[in-house]
């Protein structure tokens, strides 16, 4: 009954904000479309733009639908530009849960009263979202960690009872997606079920705060010596699946430009650093913060770290394989060099377009999208428009958009938006190109070969000493299996010949193994 009631509320909300006419327009002709046509005659809200109607409906349905809209806004290959832009405006505005409930959850997770763990604890949350809220506190020293005394921390607490709500709403999303795909003439292209599944995965990842803590720890390890980015330290003894405790980061939100400007922050340097941080995460490590809106980014004003970026909230991160990184880096570099032929060839080689695609046609289409935007400052370029046009081109050539790149495109748009506001004159291409060239040189040049040998040296060091014995054993077994047809004398001759060949092979194998192993050891020791 609860599920039926929720479905009725969803239907009423869609009617209230004039969403039903949009649903009717994508349905195939039939009884369902006729019934919706009658209902749409008395539907309010139809005068609003369609993107705004969709956004208002999702906002009214609650935080889970809002987050789904945020994820869906990254799929510009599936959505029209006006709808994607409206969905990108969605923000979580969720009332916090009670102070008493927050204290109870924290004490249950850490197994001790608040007063025994914290010198002070602010029961009023400093931030509240659909999944969790954050409190500030000051740690007490423990026998194991005396250095903790007086350290300022942030405590993130998962919203209680959120899992049943999420499971219920996601189940309804699956049902609605299947119905729309079945009844819509454009249902297959929209891939709503796949998008719901992708959203389901992201949201369940966010429900495990230990995963978020691990993501933060990984990025902190990558940038521990960075002069451009700071990541909070996790206090693992106090971290659990529904509560995590981390270093409190002091800074100002990157969206508060007036305060940053008054503090003397160099916006041009900030914009260039932001672009470098993003491309370093993507191509150097293949592991990047994928929720880079202003609420999750601060700028440090402390004297020793002045002007550095501070990243927060690591519930959503992106990961790329080596093949993904290679493909993207080569594509970006081809774009920067205006080698559209190479871009088209890379798409065919990767299997992202049908094998019978004419490279010349794809080359011309990509050129028509990208050529007008080179040699322009960022203020005259919209990566959003470029991406939209590229996605429209991808539909024409039946490009299979890879799911792992959806987060990347969303994050790139966030980075572009921040860079545009910080420094409209930034040359995005020239800032990113040296980073990509350095990475490609490291991966595909002599440095890449040497690093690969160093990485494989321990494995080869174990295999190579046994190689001569394995070769000799194989030859002996092969000789034993040969049947003698010509008597003992021929057998003796064959054995002598075999032994001579065996000794030569073994000697050659030993020389090869010794030389190869020596080379690997020299490289590993840094003598090269």
Tokens standing for residue 435: 């980073």
Reduced to 3 states, what is the DSSP secondary structure of residue 156?
Answer: strand
The CB density around residue 511, as the number of other CB atoms within 10 Å, is 11
Instruction: Determine whether 228 is exposed, middle or buried from the number of CB atoms within 10 Å of its CB (0-12, 13-18, 19+).
Output: middle
Which helix (H) or strand (E) covers residue 239, if one does? none
361 - beta bridge partners? Answer: none
- What's the farthest any 2 CA atoms get from each other in the chain? 106
Distances 2 to 5, 9, 172, 178, 414 between C-alpha atoms, Å: 5, 11, 11, 20, 38
- In the chain, % helix, strand, coil (3-state, to 5) comes to 65, 10, 25
3-state secondary structure of 129: coil
Residue 59 backbone class (left: φ over 0; alpha: ψ -120 to 50; beta: rest):
alpha
Rounded to an integer, what distance in angstroms lies between the CA atom of residue 217 and that of residue 231?
A: 8
Backbone region of residue 423 per phi and psi (left: phi > 0; alpha: psi in -120 to 50; beta: other values) = beta
Structure tokens at 59: 């906002």
For residue 266, indicate whether it is catalytic: no
Residue 468 makes CB contacts below 8 A (sequence gap 6+) with 506, 509, 510, 513
Where do the DSSP E strands lie in 159-302?
Answer: 229-230, 243-247, 252-253, 287-289, 297-299
Active-site residue (options: 169, 200, 273, 291): 291
Q: Is 317 helix (H, G, I), strand (E, B) or coil?
A: strand
Let me know: does 230 contact 218? Beta carbons within 8 Å: no
Question: What residues are labeled active site?
Answer: 291
């Amino acid at each position: 009954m609860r599920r039926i009631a929720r479905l009725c509320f969803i239907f009423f909300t869609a009617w209230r904000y004039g969403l039903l006419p949009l649903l009717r327009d994508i349905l195939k002709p039939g009884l369902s479309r006729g019934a919706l046509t009658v209902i749409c005659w008395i539907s309010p809200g139809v005068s609003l733009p369609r993107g705004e109607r969709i956004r208002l409906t999702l906002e009214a349905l609650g935080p889970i639908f809002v987050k789904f809209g945020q994820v869906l806004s990254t799929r510009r290959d599936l959505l029209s530009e006006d709808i994607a832009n409206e969905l990108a405006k969605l923000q979580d505005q969720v009332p916090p849960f009670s102070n008493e409930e927050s204290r109870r959850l924290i004490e249950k997770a850490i197994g001790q009263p608040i007063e025994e763990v914290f010198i002070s604890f602010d029961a009023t949350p400093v931030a509240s979202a659909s999944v969790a809220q954050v409190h500030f506190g000051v740690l007490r020293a423990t026998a194991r960690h005396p250095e903790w005394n007086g350290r300022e921390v942030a405590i993130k607490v998962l919203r209680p009872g959120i899992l049943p709500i999420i499971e219920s709403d996601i189940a309804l999303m699956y049902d609605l997606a299947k119905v729309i795909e079945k009844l819509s003439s454009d249902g297959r292209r929209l891939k709503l079920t796949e998008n719901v599944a992708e959203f389901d995965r992201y949201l369940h990842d966010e429900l495990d705060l230990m995963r978020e803590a691990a993501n933060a720890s990984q990025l902190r390890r990558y940038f521990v010596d960075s002069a451009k980015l700071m990541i909070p330290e996790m206090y693992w003894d106090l971290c659990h699946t529904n509560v995590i405790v981390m270093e409190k980061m002091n800074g100002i939100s990157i969206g508060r430009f007036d305060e940053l400007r008054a503090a003397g922050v160099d916006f041009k340097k900030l914009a260039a650093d932001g672009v470098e941080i993003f491309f370093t995460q993507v191509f150097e490590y293949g592991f990047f913060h994928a929720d880079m809106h202003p609420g999750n980014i601060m700028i440090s004003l402390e004297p020793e770290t002045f002007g550095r970026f501070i990243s927060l909230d690591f519930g959503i991160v992106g990961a790329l394989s080596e093949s993904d990184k290679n493909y993207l880096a080569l594509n970006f570099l081809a774009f920067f060099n205006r080698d559209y032929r190479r871009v088209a060839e890379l798409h065919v080689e990767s299997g992202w377009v049908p094998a019978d695609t004419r490279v010349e046609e794809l080359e011309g289409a990509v050129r028509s999208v990208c050529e007008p935007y080179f040699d322009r400052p960022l203020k005259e370029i919209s990566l959003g428009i470029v991406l939209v046009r590229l996605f429209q081109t991808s539909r024409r050539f039946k490009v299979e958009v890879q799911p792992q790149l959806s987060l990347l495109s969303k994050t790139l748009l966030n980075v572009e938006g921040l860079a545009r506001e910080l420094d409209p004159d930034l040359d995005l291409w020239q800032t990113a190109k040296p980073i990509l060239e350095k990475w490609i040189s490291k991966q595909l040049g002599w440095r890449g070969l040497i690093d690969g040998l160093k990485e494989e040296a321990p494995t080869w060091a174990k295999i190579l000493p046994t190689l001569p014995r394995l070769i000799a054993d194989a030859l002996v077994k092969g000789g034993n299996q040969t049947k003698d047809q010509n008597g003992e004398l021929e057998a003796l001759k064959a054995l002598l010949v075999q032994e001579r060949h065996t000794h030569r092979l073994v000697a050659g194998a030993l020389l090869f193994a010794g030389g190869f192993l020596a080379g690997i050891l020299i490289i590993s020791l840094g003598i090269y």
